[in-house]
């Protein structure tokens, strides 16, 4: 049994701090459950010694209850919380919800109090939600263990969508919007300060909860990246769609600032990557979260691909939906020739394109709408989703009755593909179609965007299935000191990243000899642990194409370094072959404090800074993951034969990403970050031209 | 009186092709109006000679009606339309709606028929909507002159939003969604084939219609750019917000393909620019269109600026809304110090930041919510819009009653700023607040996005007011033939665009002399009207830094040209100074077939192609418009001191844009397009390095 089971399915519940006033925090849960008819045993507890509270026999202490208590709610003022919790521990309570606020959210003193609560729970093997929690709902048993006033106006409807949020207000808002829309919920929980139970663990619970088939969640911060990843993967493995909101910017902490990669990792790029890798959809608004969750709940599965067909009686709406689909990365392939021929036979005046505009004349053909939809869902048709735009016919249920029945039959015969109806309709029509697995949307654009989110989730999950976990052990050898470019490149070379045959020279003569050995022209750079940003002091000279030029550059670089940084230790001058072909890329490693080593990829030039055109992925990377990381950067078009240029060696690039990712995992506990900038991708191979490694 | 007035306010209406069957196209308008109680005179007309139709006295011809007829609806089969229209002309009908389809939308033959209808109308001075029109609605007089089945399920509600669409299905969809949401409409019209009346003219009508205060419209194609611009400007001048949808891609036609600028102008960039210049908002979905229209209708004005404040009882929702606002280009300035002090006094435990999280404790302070809102709207506060997130209190109208009254008072005292409430609420609460000018949204993200759209519209309109129209006359002199780069630059130089002191040379010796005169290094380019793409034949050589190099380049270029294009006429070799500083930009002119000369601006490199980071604006440009065009390109950050580089000479760039725009207007009837690529912006000045001019 999952350790959170008594949270949602307790046989007996104590309400510590229960109030006779049904409007007070301590009174509301009791009122909600009495009104709703919760069937478990309820024990109000109040130190006042009242004989009964809201008509139920009350106790002065949880210890006085002549029965086992599985679930306790603590809603007493801060000074009494610790004692109440100790009594729960003594009583053998399994799970506790602490509604009382004034702990970790109030600064150091509150955090110390909160840590004492955690210690009590750990010692007793008791689980805790909160403190500062708003409570939870289990509509299927009418267990309404919350003081949320959202229940004053709205009775929850039982359903298949589970909801876990950190913030109570966020939970109430989602609960309220869902319930107003008639969406049924399986479980709802707000985790508050998350001193023990967090949203990730609730997702883990919902992933194995048989009544929950779709999971919604909202996080403000994640403390345990491993737990979140593992819960999301469990949900994906169980075939349950997960729609998440992550609110606010990431605090990447001090370690991140060490590299350029780290600074780009702020602002949620890492969360985006982790969610995608775990097959979850990140929603940007409450409405989007509910749209996709409801779509998935009605469908009962995800769309099998990202190809859509559109059947419409209105050319304009068809074009609008096609525009929306293209923006959302859905594709609109044409129908197969056979189906086109059948459609021509059915509707001779219409051109069987996609979108397929039947025009209003389809209504003159007996069973025309249903037969058109049936044909467009024929086995040869490529569409994972077919949209049928039916205007406002759902507002005339009688006129729609025959078509409604036919749609339900067609859906039954196409249980793996999605048939989505876009129309204005009465609630009854929407409900009947929904029960048959046919989602109905009023707004065409929202319909397309919801399918796009769900279909993308399906693709992400197919990619997850193809991925093989090959765990890499942490290295036990300490990394050497890495203070200069030469040292960084030496280490990367050991990690399998191609570098140039370079040499750190300590005299002009040595520099000339090195340049001759590698072939002119060459590049010369100052080597000093005290000058990390070489270009700022003029410490790099390019295109040296003669002995004289090399010798002169040696002297110039030393003198510039002495002028600009008189105290700098100078190791000499690095001589390297000059690379003039290829495309510059940036490869980075960011040691995320929550999610561990993350790989970053972007193109050189202005694309990273100006357009934030970079992507992140968890290390280690497989070949396929490395190629996907590259592809997810828009500017990677420059590597694929841009405007007639020779294509870059993508296998060499992905190999470098993969090797660096393995290195990043092996030394995850020692590395703070790595920037390879640039890594030049050539027609044959690729090479690191400059690198910075930051050790913790 | 506006010539479309009898469309919406006829005293007498003939229905030609009226049917006794209330379900048929010819029967529905009559049924709708009889059911709704239209007060004008209705005259059914049917050749059958029926005495009455749906209980109303009928006539065999419109000529038999013993009364003047202002408005006629023609709903007879195609073969009878022309005769019916002639009879209307003879009868002196003012406006005709032709519902019958099968004209211009069906190809050349249908178009010929349609043109005959237009000729009849023109001769008679009669206005025509359609053919292939769905009809119109005037809810205030119950004039329902349409056969849209959307009226079967939904009775229109009278209001202040006017709606004009080309597509009938689009109009029905918008009407249906609006009516289901309880949004009131002033006029609704679908223009069909637009043989005469188009959406632009309907916007012009709505702009002067006193009952219409907000305008919604949807276009698929615009035939008359001048009319659309002028209608949109009239609406802006009348202070009426306009929210538009433009569906599908632009067909830019043959002229456009002549230049790179032309190819970038496809895909709606020109529509985006024109709508913005005319102070209209372009919506991407029906729902967005209605959200913004309803917001504006409730407010009665646009938000005065793009600065917002957020008051919330939930930290999480506040962060979500702040994220949404930042994405939508709204800003969240802090409160002034005085108001902060007052808020600290009112709610000592809360930090008066923006978003201002009152926490749930605000409910413990008497009148706490209203007093907080009042303070955040104090005269010193910078917010054009204040959002108040009130969770779900609107679902408990009794609890909310006192606050509701206070909000209405506060709004009354702040009639120029927007107070937007975000909460779940009952229809009655939403309605009462709406009537008092306070919009209520359920979804926080939609609230923020709607305000962002409306506030941007306000900014665009402020910019319009600052703009001064200085008409430029068409030039009468013919442009010379422009076949080579040298000729193009000579013409641009006359137009006031800086070019380099270049020389077309016909011998190596002349080239060397020219290079010496301008100073080394130089660039050499082949000059030939038959080689427009010089780089493809190796026709450009850079960095020539000696007499020998210049002389050799001359010979090399001629020989390359002879090898790659043996038949090409060769004018010689262009010698020009080599420019190595500055930032490359692209300036273009696109002669749009609908909207006339449009200016294009983008940066060099990959930003234009890869990220479509270009912007368009109508010619001619003022200084301010030129600077805004530059600013609207994201990559223009590269011109403003990017990463420590010297900033570019923006005044020189905007001067070049302005001069080229004036040239484009002066020769609008002769030019097909211009590409200046690159125009190099230097620390001092700017210069055109290459140009292509395409003459019609």
> How does pLDDT run across B584-595, given as a tens digit for each residue?
999 999 998 899
Contacts of A455 (CB under 8 A, 6+ apart): A302, A303, A305, A306, A330, A384, A385
Instruction: Compute the mean pLDDT over every residue in chain A, rounded to the nearest whole number.
Output: 92
Burial class (CB in 10 A: 0-12, 13-18, 19+), A296: buried
Please tell me the predicted confidence (pLDDT) of residue A257: 41
Residue A361: Cβ within 10 Å count: 14
pLDDT band, very low/low/confident/very high, at A266 (cuts 50, 70, 90): low
Residue B262 has pLDDT above 70, yes or no: no
pLDDT digits (tens, 9 = 90+) for B94-118: 999 999 999 998 889 999 999 999 9
Q: Phi, psi at residue B388, to the nearest 5°?
A: -115, 115
Contact call for B638 and A606, based on CB within 8 A:
yes
d(CA A286, CA A170): 9
Residue A250 has pLDDT above 50, yes or no: no
pLDDT digits (tens, 9 = 90+) for B158-200: 999 999 999 898 999 999 999 999 999 999 999 999 999 999 9
d(CA B395, CA B393): 5
Q: Phi, psi at residue B523, to the nearest 5°?
A: -120, 145
Q: Locate tokens 């990712």: which residue?
A: A661
pLDDT digits (tens, 9 = 90+) for A541-571: 998 999 999 999 999 999 999 888 888 888 8
d(CA A676, CA A657): 10
At A498 the three-state DSSP class reads coil
The token pair that represents A342 in the structure block: 């059948």
Residue B533 has pLDDT above 80, yes or no: no
Please tell me the predicted confidence (pLDDT) of residue A506: 93
The token pair that represents B468 in the structure block: 């001064």
Contact call for B392 and A172, based on CB within 8 A:
yes
Q: A324 to chain B: which residues are within 8 Å by CB? A: 284-285
d(CA B50, CA B571): 82
Adjacent-strand bridge partners of B45: B16, B59
CA nearest A280: which of A238, A315, A308, A312?
A238
**H/E element, A343:** helix A337-346
pLDDT digits (tens, 9 = 90+) for A430-442: 999 999 999 999 9
- For an interface test with B, which of A28, A247, A272, A396 has the most B Cβ atoms less than 10 Å from its Cβ? A247
Please tell me the predicted confidence (pLDDT) of residue A670: 95
d(CA B2, CA B405): 42
pLDDT digits (tens, 9 = 90+) for A304-329: 999 999 999 888 899 899 989 998 99
pLDDT band, very low/low/confident/very high, at B265 (cuts 50, 70, 90): low
Q: How far is A321 from chain B (nearest CA, A)?
A: 9
Q: How far is B571 from chain A (nearest CA, A)?
A: 28
Please tell me the predicted confidence (pLDDT) of residue A360: 76
pLDDT band, very low/low/confident/very high, at A447 (cuts 50, 70, 90): very high
For residue B629, CA distances in Å to A491, B28, B260, B615 come to 48, 50, 18, 6
| Closest residue in chain A to residue B445, using alpha carbons only | A285
In chain A, % of residues over pLDDT 90: 81
Residue A17 has pLDDT above 50, yes or no: yes
Task: Pick the range with the lowest mean pLDDT from A223-237, A672-686, B259-273.
Answer: B259-273
pLDDT digits (tens, 9 = 90+) for A279-303: 999 999 999 999 999 999 999 999 9
Question: What value does the mean pLDDT take over residues A411-415?
Answer: 95
At B337 the three-state DSSP class reads helix
Question: What value does the mean pLDDT take over residues A598-603?
Answer: 95
Residue A223 has pLDDT above 90, yes or no: no
- For an interface test with B, which of A173, A328, A533 has the most B Cβ atoms less than 10 Å from its Cβ? A173
Contacts of B662 (CB under 8 A, 6+ apart): B472, B495, B619, B620
Residue B259 has pLDDT above 80, yes or no: no
Residue B564 has pLDDT above 90, yes or no: no
Contacts of A286 (CB under 8 A, 6+ apart): A173, A174, A177, A245, B320, B443, B444, B445
- For an interface test with B, which of A220, A251, A268, A392 has the most B Cβ atoms less than 10 Å from its Cβ? A392
Contact call for B444 and A315, based on CB within 8 A:
no
Contact predicate A522/A547, CB 8 Å = no
pLDDT band, very low/low/confident/very high, at B577 (cuts 50, 70, 90): very high
Contact predicate B578/B542, CB 8 Å = yes
**Cis, peptide link before residue A184, omega less than 30° from 0:** no
Contact predicate B261/B673, CB 8 Å = yes
Contact call for A169 and B220, based on CB within 8 A:
no
What structural domains and CATH numbers belong to chain B?
A: 1-132 (3.40.50.720), 148-283 (3.40.50.261), 301-466 (3.40.50.261), 501-577 (3.30.1490.20), 583-695 (3.30.470.20)
- For an interface test with B, which of A316, A362, A422, A677 has the most B Cβ atoms less than 10 Å from its Cβ? A316
Contact call for A286 and B605, based on CB within 8 A:
no
Q: Locate tokens 């930009």: which residue?
A: B585
Q: How far is A395 from chain B (nearest CA, A)?
A: 5
Greater confidence (A648 vs A538) lies with A648
d(CA A81, CA A87): 10
At A236 the three-state DSSP class reads helix
The token pair that represents B470 in the structure block: 């200085």
Q: Phi, psi at residue B562, to the nearest 5°?
A: -65, -35
Please tell me the predicted confidence (pLDDT) of residue B261: 59
The CA-to-CA distance between both ends of chain A, in Å, stands at 41
At A523 the three-state DSSP class reads strand
Residue B602 has pLDDT above 90, yes or no: yes
Phi-psi label, residue A294: left if phi above 0, alpha if psi -120 to 50, beta otherwise: alpha
d(CA B577, CA A173): 66
Residue B152 has pLDDT above 70, yes or no: yes
Question: What value does the mean pLDDT take over residues B18-25?
Answer: 94
The token pair that represents B556 in the structure block: 């090399």
| Closest residue in chain A to residue B179, using alpha carbons only | A424
Please tell me the predicted confidence (pLDDT) of residue B248: 72
Residue A238: Cβ within 10 Å count: 16
Question: What value does the mean pLDDT take over residues B619-633?
Answer: 95
Q: How far is A636 from chain B (nearest CA, A)?
A: 10
A319, A320, A326, A328 alpha-carbon torsion, rounded to 10°: -160
Q: B166 to chain A: which residues are within 8 Å by CB? A: 316
Of A153, A443, A634, the CB nearest to B286: A443
pLDDT band, very low/low/confident/very high, at B252 (cuts 50, 70, 90): very low
pTM for this entry: 0.93
DSSP, res A300: S
Residue A535 has pLDDT above 90, yes or no: no
Please tell me the predicted confidence (pLDDT) of residue B77: 95
Q: A643 to chain B: which residues are within 8 Å by CB? A: 609
pLDDT digits (tens, 9 = 90+) for B404-431: 999 999 999 999 999 999 999 999 999 9
Q: Locate tokens 């790595």: which residue?
A: A674
pLDDT band, very low/low/confident/very high, at A252 (cuts 50, 70, 90): very low
d(CA A412, CA A134): 41
Of B395, B444, B643, the CB nearest to A154: B395
Residue B251 has pLDDT above 50, yes or no: no
| Closest residue in chain A to residue B395, using alpha carbons only | A153
Task: Pick the range with the lowest mean pLDDT from A219-223, A673-677, B22-26, B572-576.
Answer: A219-223
**H/E element, A117:** helix A108-124
DSSP per-residue string spanning B176-244? HHHHHTT--EEEEEE-TT-SS--HHHHHHHHHH-TT--EEEEEES--S-HHHHHHHHHHHHHTT--EEE
Please tell me the predicted confidence (pLDDT) of residue A259: 58
Please tell me the predicted confidence (pLDDT) of residue A265: 57
Residue A249 has pLDDT above 60, yes or no: no
Contact call for B287 and A445, based on CB within 8 A:
yes
Q: Helix A397-413 vs helix A368-376: angle between axes, to the nearest 10 degrees?
A: 20
ipTM of the complex: 0.92
Of B391, B444, B605, the CB nearest to A605: B605
Residue A264 has pLDDT above 70, yes or no: no
Q: B149 to chain A: which residues are within 8 Å by CB? A: 391-393, 396
Residue A263 has pLDDT above 90, yes or no: no
The token pair that represents B175 in the structure block: 């009407």
């Amino acid at each position: 049994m999952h350790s959170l089971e008594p949270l949602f399915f307790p046989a007996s519940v104590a309400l510590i701090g229960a109030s006779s006033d049904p409007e007070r925090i301590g009174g509301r849960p009791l009122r909600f459950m009495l009104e709703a008819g919760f069937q478990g045993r309820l024990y109000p507890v109040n130190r006042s010694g009242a004989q009964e509270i809201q008509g139920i026999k009350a106790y002065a202490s949880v210890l006085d209850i002549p029965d086992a208590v599985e679930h306790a709610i603590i809603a007493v003022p801060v000074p009494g919380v610790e004692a109440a919790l100790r009594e729960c521990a003594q009583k053998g309570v399994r799970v506790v919800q602490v509604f009382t606020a004034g702990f970790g959210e109030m600064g150091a003193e509150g955090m110390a109090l909160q840590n004492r609560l955690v210690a009590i729970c750990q010692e007793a093997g008791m689980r805790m939600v909160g403190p500062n929690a708003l409570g939870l709902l289990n509509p299927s048993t009418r267990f309404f263990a919350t003081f949320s006033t959202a229940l004053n106006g709205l009775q929850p409807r039982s359903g298949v969508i589970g909801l876990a949020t950190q913030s109570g207000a966020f939970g109430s808002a989602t609960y309220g919007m869902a319930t107003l829309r008639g969406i049924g919920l399986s479980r709802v929980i707000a985790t508050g300060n998350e001193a023990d139970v967090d949203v990730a663990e609730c997702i883990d619970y919902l992933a194995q909860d048989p009544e929950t088939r779709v999971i919604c969640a909202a996080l403000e911060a994640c403390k345990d990246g491993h737990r979140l990843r593992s819960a999301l993967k469990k949900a994906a493995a169980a075939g349950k769609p997960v729609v998440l909101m992550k609110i606010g910017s990431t605090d990447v902490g001090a370690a991140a600032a060490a590299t350029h990669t780290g600074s780009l990792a702020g602002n949620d790029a890492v969360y985006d990557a982790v969610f995608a890798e775990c097959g979850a959809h990140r929603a940007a608004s409450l409405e989007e979260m509910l749209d996709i969750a409801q779509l998935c709940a009605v469908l009962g599965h995800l769309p099998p691909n990202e190809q859509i067909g559109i059947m419409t009686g209105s050319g304009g709406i068809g074009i609008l939906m096609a525009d929306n689909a293209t923006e959302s990365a859905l594709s609109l392939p044409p129908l197969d020739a056979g189906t086109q021929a059948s459609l021509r036979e059915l509707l001779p005046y219409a051109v069987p394109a996609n979108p397929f505009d039947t025009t209003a004349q389809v209504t003159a053909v007996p069973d025309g709408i249903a037969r058109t939809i049936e044909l467009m869902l024929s086995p040869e048709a490529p569409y994972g989703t077919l949209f049928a735009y039916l205007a406002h016919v759902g507002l005339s249920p009688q006129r729609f009755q025959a078509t409604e029945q036919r749609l339900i039959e067609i859906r039954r015969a196409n249980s793996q593909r999605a048939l989505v109806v876009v129309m204005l309709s009465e609630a009854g029509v929407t409900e009947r179609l929904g029960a048959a697995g046919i989602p109905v949307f009023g707004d065409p654009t929202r319909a397309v965007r919801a399918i796009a989110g769900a279909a993308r989730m399906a693709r992400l999950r197919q990619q997850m299935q193809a991925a093989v976990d090959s765990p890499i052990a942490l290295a036990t050898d300490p990394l050497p000191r890495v203070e200069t470019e030469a040292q960084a490149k030496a280490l990367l070379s050991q990690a399998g990243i191609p570098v140039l045959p370079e040499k750190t020279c300590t005299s002009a003569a040595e520099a000339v000899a090195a340049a001759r050995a590698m072939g002119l022209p060459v590049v010369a750079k100052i080597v000093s642990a005290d000058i990390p940003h070489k270009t700022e002091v003029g410490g790099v000279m390019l295109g040296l194409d003669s002995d004289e030029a090399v010798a002169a550059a040696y002297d110039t670089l030393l003198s510039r370094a002495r002028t600009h940084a008189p105290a700098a230790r100078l190791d000499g001058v690095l001589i390297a072959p000059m690379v003039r072909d290829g495309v510059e890329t940036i490869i980075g490693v960011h040691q995320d404090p929550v999610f561990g080593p993350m790989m970053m990829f972007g193109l050189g030039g202005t694309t990273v800074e100006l357009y934030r055109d970079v992507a992140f992925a968890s290390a280690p990377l497989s070949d396929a993951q490395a190629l996907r990381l590259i592809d997810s950067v828009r500017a990677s078009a420059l590597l694929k034969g841009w405007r007639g240029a020779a294509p870059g060696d993508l296998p060499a690039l992905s190999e470098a990403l993969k090797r660096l990712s393995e290195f990043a995992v092996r030394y995850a506990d020692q590395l703070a970050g790595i920037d390879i900038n640039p890594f030049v991708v050539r027609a044959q191979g690729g090479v690191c031209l400059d690198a910075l490694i930051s050790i913790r």
